[in-house]
Amino acid sequence: MTLSFYWYPKCGTCRKAKQWLDENQIDYQAISIVDDPPSANQLLSWMEKSDLPPKKFFNTSGKKYRELNLKERINDLSPQEMADILASDGMLIKRPVLTDGSKVTVGFNEETYESFWK
């Protein structure tokens, strides 16, 4: 089974995750989160499957997050509104996102990758 690996090549965390996948010989399709961002429906589905709070899908350290003043607004947004905002700009999404269609991880943590994807 090939995983979908949404990443931003200039992101150090994404490069570490990619290296881990390569070293562990895990099949994946690399997808640019900026050039081909996931749709709002995809994001909503991931939110449900991940068991993470929807706001964990936001790249809170990003410039765009600050420009949109999302820190002040995020707690008042519905999951649908969050998904719509995230789908509008891949740079808003915490990366990398790795999914097999039924499981989803956001960000890179070696222990999480070991338990989910190995």
What is the longest distance spanned by two Cα atoms in the chain? 42
Domain count for the chain, please give it. Answer: 1
Q: Which two tokens stand for residue 20?
A: 């881990």
Confirm if 85 and 70 have CB atoms less than 8 A apart. yes
Q: Residue 15: give the domain boundaries.
A: 3-117
Write down the pTM of the prediction. 0.95
Radius of gyration (Cα) for the chain, nearest Å?
Answer: 14
* Residue 37 belongs to domain with CATH number: 3.40.30.10
pLDDT, tens digit only, all 118 positions of the chain: 799 999 999 999 999 999 999 999 999 999 999 999 999 999 999 999 998 999 999 999 999 999 999 999 999 999 999 999 999 999 999 999 999 999 999 999 999 999 999 9
